[in-house]
Structure 1
Amino acid sequence: MPATRKPTRAKAPEKCDTCKGTGEVSKTVRVGRRQRTVGQQTGLCLTCLGSGEAN
């Protein structure tokens, strides 16, 4: 008689270290010759490509 297998739980995917699982990162925007800081802009995390999961 074959042994029965217990169902296993799927592990939750690990969060990306760069964006902390949000999928977005902030970058400081600088303008002018003296590189004056004017604000921040959010963009897609290039480490996880916006999924928020570590690969």
Structure 2
Amino acid sequence: VREFPPVCYYFIALGVWSLLHLVYLVWYFGKRPYERRLMQLVSEAYGTDYERF
């Protein structure tokens, strides 16, 4: 008798979940400084305060 849900799907889902977190961490620590710089430029140009939100 096979278990439900199959254990093999668990490891596939775990791998996909890990890759998703890896992509998020790369974005957060790698891409975020550029985003902060753009937010600073826009706030200086248009007087918008992103820190309020």
TM-score bin (small chain): under 0.3
User: RCO greater where, 1 or 2, for CA within 8 Å and sep 6 or more?
Assistant: 1
TM-score, normalized by length of structure 2? 0.26
User: Greater strand share, 1 or 2?
Assistant: 1
